[in-house]
Amino acid sequence: MIQHARDLTGIERCARLTMLHLLGCDAVDIKAISRLTSLDSLVINDSGLTSLDGMDDLPLIQFNINRNLVTDLTPLLGLRNVQNLDTIGNPLTVESYEEVLPELRGRGMYITASERSEWELTLRMQAAGLPFICYHNHDALRLASPGFRLTERPNFGHSAVTEDELREALDEDPQRVYQLFERKDQLW
């Protein structure tokens, strides 16, 4: 497991890995990981992953990309072995959310994805130029900032917010979301 890495230089030297967990990393380049041809489980959470391009040859069975900045899931359509996919907390495009995810489910893939309301709120934050995503965890809506842009520990300290206060902040002044993110009550 690699935790809180800012750079994955040299990861291809681990060519025999079957499982890789990247937690709280920045600037994750899937092309470097795609050289790990024995990989069947890949977890990239709370990181700066933005693109899935170049992962066509991975023999993945389990793929988890919680709380990243991935927008396009179409590269996953070429993967035939994936049985479990987790995409919670990503600002997926409408096409990825409404077409690609259902197509993958139709192939028998077990998928965990954001509920529509949290996905829409994440899209609104991204459209406003905010570096945040939201997701449900422990019966609360959480705010997170993938990678190291705003925090030294991207996989910890996600503030609990209500849907109403997040919508209100986005409607009135999107910059108020920074204050919600910096709250220290009910952290996860």
- Convert the pLDDT of each residue in 96-146 to its tens digit: 999 999 999 999 999 999 999 999 999 999 999 999 999 998 789 999 999
Instruction: Name the percent of the chain lying above pLDDT 70.
Output: 88
Average pLDDT over residues 24-45: 86
- In whole angstroms, give the CA distance from residue 51 to residue 48: 9
Three-class secondary structure of residue 76 per DSSP:
helix
pLDDT, greater one: 56 or 83: 83
Taking residue 175's Cβ as centre, other Cβ atoms within 10 Å add up to: 11
pLDDT, greater one: 76 or 150: 76
Query: Residue 60 to residues 4, 139, 178: CA-CA distances in angstroms?
Result: 23, 30, 36
- In whole angstroms, give the CA distance from residue 62 to residue 155: 20
Give Dmax over CA atoms of the chain in angstroms.
51
Tokens describing residue 34: 């795609």
Span 57-108, pLDDT tens digits? 788 999 999 999 999 999 999 988 999 999 999 999 999 999 999 999 999 9
How far, in whole angstroms, is CA 127 from its chain's centroid?
17
Span 17-33, pLDDT tens digits? 689 999 888 878 888 88
Contact status, residue 52 vs residue 183, Cβ threshold 8 Å: no
For β-strands 160-161 and 140-144, DSSP reports them as: antiparallel
Residue with the two structure tokens 């934050």: 125
State the pLDDT at residue 121: 98
- Is pLDDT at 14 greater than 60 in this prediction? no
- In whole angstroms, give the CA distance from residue 180 to residue 167: 11
- In whole angstroms, give the CA distance from residue 59 to residue 123: 30
